[in-house]
Amino acid sequence: MGDTGDDERSFFSEAPVRPAAKAVTLDEKPHYVGHRDRLRERFAAAGPDALPDYELLELLLFRLIPRADTKPVAKALLARFGTLAEVLGAPVGLLQEVKGIGPTVALDLKVVAATAQRMARGEVRGREVLSSWQQLLDYCRSAMAFEEREQFRILFLDKKNALIADEVQQVGTVDHTPVYPREVVKRALELSATAIILVHNHPSGDPTPSRADIEMTKEIIDAAKRLGIAVHDHIIIGRKGYSSMKGLLLI
């Protein structure tokens, strides 16, 4: 027993002495508090265009993560997903894979994304969509560009080409969505629509129409034409852009 005690005394006597941790006073603020104030002041004075994506995302994260430095989190999100739009469009599960993002913050980001989509839809609802084409494209991109599966959406228009309804008719796989022309026309008749715009996304990111996309569109045009319903366009949404079949002279 005596030998063991000598060993323990020798061990502790040789251990380096560590400096005492700095005491944190109650009135000492974390370093990021001043940064938050300065960033808010810049936003208030110069507006959102003066801030890069990561700083706008920081401003958002201030509210969602109140007691932490959010700059590394914002930069990590953008490094993972690419752009602010892609961050907000990312699924909850993938958001949580980024350090600092828990289930609550991930869900809050999706609430922000849903709010942005609702605002974009408000820009086109009730308007003559052919004269508000960019707003329509912005809405479709915010709603569909970052989905992991294909969605087939129909925009139903009245006789003045104003949007009366916007519905996702089918959700498919990563590269295919089953579409039934009869169901498309049936729904248009139920809503008393006189014209429609077809929209679907390509999760691959490439909005180039496939041969199947073109053939399916022509089938819908033929079925709708018999009942006096016009198909103005078929828009394909990708992460980096869109394609218009009418603009490509495919229909």
Q: Residues 174, 178, 183, 185: is their CA dihedral positive or negative?
A: positive
Which two structure tokens, joined as six digits, stand for 15? 């251990």
Q: What are the two backbone dihedrals, phi and then psi, of residue 224, each rounded to the nearest 5 degrees?
A: -75, -35
- Chain centre distance of CA 20: 47
**pLDDT for the residue numbered 157:** 94
Contacts with 225 (C-beta within 8 Å, 6 or more apart), sequence order: 231
Whether residue 180 is predicted with pLDDT greater than 70 in this model: the reply is yes
Q: Residues 245, 246, 247, 249: is their CA dihedral positive or negative?
A: positive
Which two structure tokens, joined as six digits, stand for 41? 């002041």
For residues 94 and 109, the answer to whether their CB atoms sit within 8 Å is no
Q: Where are the beta strands (DSSP E) in the chain?
A: 151-157, 163-171, 195-201, 230-238, 241-244
- Residue of higher predicted confidence among 154 and 70: 154
Tell me the Ramachandran region of residue 116: left when phi exceeds 0, alpha when psi lies from -120 to 50, beta otherwise.
Answer: alpha
- Does the pTM surpass 0.85? The reply is no
Cα separation, 156 vs 192, in Å, equals: 9
Instruction: Return the bridge partners of 168, or none.
Output: 153
- Tens digits of residue pLDDT in 111-157: 998 888 888 777 777 667 777 788 888 888 888 888 888 999 999 99
- Tens digits of residue pLDDT in 195-231: 999 999 999 888 999 999 999 999 999 999 999 999 9
- Tens digits of residue pLDDT in 11-21: 333 444 455 44
